[in-house]
Amino acid sequence: MYDVLSSKQGSELVAKVREICINFREVTEGIDKFGHTSFRIKDKPFIIFGEYEGNITMSIKTLMETQELLIQSGKFKKSPYIGRHGWSTVLDVSAIDWEEMKDLILEGYLRCAPKSIVKDYQKTST
């Protein structure tokens, strides 16, 4: 059973992601029935955190093509149970490249966002 993030490292990791996600429309943060902290758009998670026996996990929803590239980079693995849907798990959360992660978080958000939000984002980002 995963626990709600209780370590300092887990709290700091969520805070960094929160700083990125605060700029996205309609994102909510919460804890699911499994005790995972997640960031969601319209109740669809695009980032999921867990903590088990002191080990912190961070998984992100990606395109299948992105997932393959991330796995090949050696910094990610296919997430257990949900990896077949494009979920990728960071292997070492203490070594995250935050410039790369910002792009991956945006990809996850846009993968889960309704089409109207994606269209609005595309209009404002060009």
How far apart CA 62 and CA 104 sit, in angstroms, is: 7
Query: What CATH number has the domain bearing residue 98?
Result: 3.90.1150.30
124 falls within a domain = no
Mean local confidence (pLDDT), 86-111: 96
Written as six digits, the tokens of 9 are 């490292």
Q: What is the pTM of this model?
A: 0.91
Q: What is the pLDDT of residue 100?
A: 96
Give percent of the chain above pLDDT 70.
96
Name the residue range of residue 74's domain.
8-116
Note the Cα 53 to chain centre separation in Å. Answer: 21
Residue 84 Cα distances to 11, 33, 123, angstroms: 28, 21, 31
122 falls within a domain = no
Mean local confidence (pLDDT), 44-63: 92
Query: How many domains is the chain built from?
Result: 1
Kind and range of the H or E run holding 8: helix 8-21
126 falls within a domain = no
- 46-55 exposure pattern, b = at least 16 Cβ within 10 A, e = fewer: bbbbbbeeee
Q: What is the pLDDT of residue 110?
A: 97
